[in-house]
Chains A and B, each alone.
Chain A
Amino acid sequence: MSEQFEPVIIGFTCNWCSYRAADLAGTARMKYPANVRLIRLMCSGRLDPTFVMKALAGGADAVLITGCHPGECHYIEQNYKALRRYLLLRRTLGGLGIEPARVKLVWASAAEGAKLTHEITSFVEEIRSLGPLHWPQWDGAETSAPAQAPAAAD
């Protein structure tokens, strides 16, 4: 395994800010690694935590959540709700034995193509060093599973 680990990251973007920031990054020919695949939502408030779990369960190594800066939400205040869900989600992931750092929240306005580019690049680096996502094996088959996991499996 001399090859560099290339994570797959699902990114959720807001139609009004970060999706446009991604468009702007493209128009300005900024460069970032190809590991991130973006999904457009109307608002970061639309982000159902199920989407994140689904992505991680389906083979993604990490999830990037992006939205408008606090106070700049197109729908007044829904990005605050995204923030609350994000904080809860990180705790839930920790409880499941998954590094919370695999989910990241970034604010990026429509003008911040450069910021989004930078955030994606550094997030890919962080996940590369974290390595592939291994879901804890509850049946005890995997030796890397946490010690208390088999007991909880029953």
Chain B
Amino acid sequence: MTSQAIPLHLPGDAPHEKIGVYVCHCGTNIAATVDVAEVRDWAGQRLEDSGVVVSRDYKFMCSSLGQELIEKDIKDLGLTRVVVAACSPHLHEGTFRGACKRAGLNPYLCELVSIREQVSWVHTDKHAATDKAKAVVSGGVERVVQNTPLEPLHVPIHPATLVVGGGIAGIQAALEIANAGFPVYLVEREPSIGGHMAQFDKTFPTLDCAACILTPRMVEAGANPNITLLTWSEVVDVKGYVGNFVVTVNKKARHVNEALCTGCGICQEKCPKKVVDEVYEAGLGYRKAVYTPFPQAVPKYPVIDVASCTFFQKGTCRACEKLCPTNAIDFSQKDELLTVEVGNIILATGYDLFDARRIPQYGYGRLANVFTSLEFERLTNAAGPTNGAIVLRDGQTTPKTVGIIHCVGSRDRNYNNYCSAICCMQSVKFAHLVKERTGAQVYNFYIDMRTTAKAYDEFYQRVLEEGTLFVRGRVAEVTDAARQPGEEGQLIIQVEDTLAGRQRRIPVDMVILSAALEPRRDAKATAQRFGLSCSADGWMIEKHPKLDPVATMTEGIFAAGCVTGPKDIPNTVAQGAAAAARVLGMIQRREIELEPIKASVNQEQCSGCRICNNLCPFNAILFHEDRMVSEINPALCQGCGTCVAACPAGAISGTGFSNEQILSQIDGLLMLNVARQSAAVTA
């Protein structure tokens, strides 16, 4: 009795199923912590009563040889159920289900239990880990007996795609899909597409002008008949699922009739109200109350900013209305809710710049001549507020010395732990531009130089040769308090030069802060709207950081560009194209297979209590008043199982996660434990 397990099935009660158990070594990933042979033998002997007829181990079950092993057993031994003890089902469930399917076994009769992520990788004690692996295998065996053969659901894919965010990632994705012949809705919340890239002057490392390479793409996107541009618009609601999303977009009132407007610009010229442009000009320049953010804006139609328009605030003026040659100004326009149906969604909502005021010792917002990277981009931009002249905040003085501080808000445990990826190259670019245009002495203050992509390090070497000085050390403070002669009237950068091994005070005329890229301030709300999750930093989580970087955990929703983390332009464009390729693949398939995890009501057992009716957030449960029973619409059911758990009559069952499956799994998981306890009692 001491070593005998309590059988879950009565002796003489012959098991109905023939189960094969396959324990994977995963090289040494599992085998180093779990005694694989012991688990194999234990399952073969102790789980015989549950129906295990064969138990094997193999170095790599997921390899083609491992899969063939399973297929051969299914055919030769007539297995009716398969349990694979290996990695997480999120990694290889599809692999082993495929093997079963090839051998003629319904794929849903295969259970993958995790003894890697949940056992060998998180435990160190080999004995305890092996015991837990046995319990996990036993849970899988008991569960798989209750599995039922299922057929995947076939869902048609709507050929249209929604792209959220009109920066370079969104533009690239939209163009790829549109050029392949499928319709795209490109939603952008600003009045024009273009995103951050439209604000830049030069791009590293080639120094080609951002506008020269971006604006043709913007025009192309605006002119493509397959792309519906929805600027000055925001997604407010997303319903449905892969293949069939129903998206509500709030098209904010432009107060300009797009059908009549020719984009002549007279309204902008004549508008008497000037306001600081906090978005496009980063606070350095002005725009009118009726405006397009920049001359090459796509679409060309301006918007009226209600908060600053004299007519909307005071009821007078109407200058734009009077002077518009086509009578396109329409003060009565209202926000409009549009509903679009799409099969897939690409999220390309980009980033926000770190607010440098959060680091008070760097003086941004307090010391006039401390600039952020985005301000400097506008300063050097030929179309910017100074026409490209690099000058101090007074608008005329050319700096003679400039300090550029890297990693402002990045690689700093007080703000963001991550590296913002673009700041090194951006700072090197700034150094080159300052040198080229003003001849000023430039200091770069860095922690480490990260110039990893094609032609990046060559550009860094070139800037080094131009005579820019690089000081290794995190800047402690930027101050205007002169302590030594020669510092008066200047900004002094206090830094520990870690290569020279001493403290330095370097007086400069201008400081540029290479601020971190941060998730959008409303990233969390966006994630909730689209049913995605954010990492602790706030970036959207991709399905797999290496192997599936543009997919998300939610089928049919993809992500491109900085929405998943800081990226430079080449990577952003590559992701836009990659996401488009994934969407095109989905569209070409016309329909996809979905997991058949759905709830259904046994109409015989349903008492008509209606408890389940209010539990479903997807309105999938309807109540038949005539027959007094509830029924679940499988097209709307998302498979959460809340109604299954709530039904007092046990009339609702959920495929894939039935009561029988879970209760049996609990039995299996505890089997070893029960055996121990009874052994202790009898000892």
Q: Which residues of A contact B (CB under 8 A)?
A: 6, 8, 10, 16-17, 19-20, 22-23, 25-27, 29-34, 37-43, 45-51, 54-55, 58-60, 71-72, 74-78, 81, 85, 109-112, 117
Contacts and interface: CB of A to CB of B under 8 A. Distances in A.
A47 B533 contact: no
Interface string B122-151: 111100110110011001000000000000
A69 B642 CA distance: 17
B670 A58 contact: yes
Contact of A81 (B132, B642, B657): B642
A85 B615 CA distance: 13
A50 B646 CA distance: 11
Nearest to B554: A74
A81 B638 contact: no
Contacts of B88: 23, 26
B122 A72 contact: no
Interface stretch (B242-250, B300-308, B600-608, B658-666): B658-666
Among the interface residues B117, B139, B528, B677, which one has the most CB atoms of the partner chain A within 10 A? B117
A8 B119 contact: no
Interface string B641-668: 1101110000000101101001101110
B533 A75 contact: no
22 contacts: A16-B553, A19-B90, A23-B114, A26-B116, A26-B118, A31-B122, A32-B122, A34-B119, A34-B131, A39-B139, A40-B89, A42-B639, A43-B642, A54-B666, A60-B666, A71-B528, A74-B640, A75-B640, A78-B615, A81-B615, A110-B533, A111-B533
Interface stretch (B49-57, B489-497, B534-542): B534-542
A107 B534 CA distance: 15
Contacts of A50: 659, 663
Nearest to A29: B121
A144 B677 CA distance: 19
Contact of B117 (A26, A43, A111): A26
B641 A46 contact: yes
B125 A58 contact: no
A37 B139 contact: yes
B203 interface: no
B531 A74 contact: yes
Contacts, number: 143
Contact of A39 (B640, B641, B642, B665): B665
Given A34-B131, A41-B641, 15 more contacts: A10-B666, A16-B553, A22-B118, A26-B116, A26-B117, A27-B121, A33-B128, A42-B597, A45-B641, A45-B645, A48-B659, A60-B666, A72-B528, A75-B640, A78-B615
B4 to A, nearest CB: 16
B638 A51 contact: no
Nearest to A22: B118
Contacts of A42: 597, 639-641, 654, 656-657
A58 B667 contact: yes
Among the interface residues A20, A46, A49, A74, which one has the most CB atoms of the partner chain B within 10 A? A46
B638 A75 contact: yes
Among the interface residues A20, A59, A74, which one has the most CB atoms of the partner chain B within 10 A? A59
Contacts of A6: 128
A72 B533 contact: yes
A126 to B, nearest CB: 19
Among the interface residues B645, B646, B667, which one has the most CB atoms of the partner chain A within 10 A? B645
Nearest to B90: A23
A116 to B, nearest CB: 10
Contacts of A110: 533, 541, 553
Contacts of B536: 111-112
Contacts of B89: 40
A111 B541 CA distance: 8
B665 A38 contact: no
B235 to A, nearest CB: 17
A46 B642 contact: yes
A64 B254 CA distance: 53
Contacts of A47: 645
B110 to A, nearest CB: 15
Among the interface residues A38, A71, A109, which one has the most CB atoms of the partner chain B within 10 A? A38
B485 interface: no
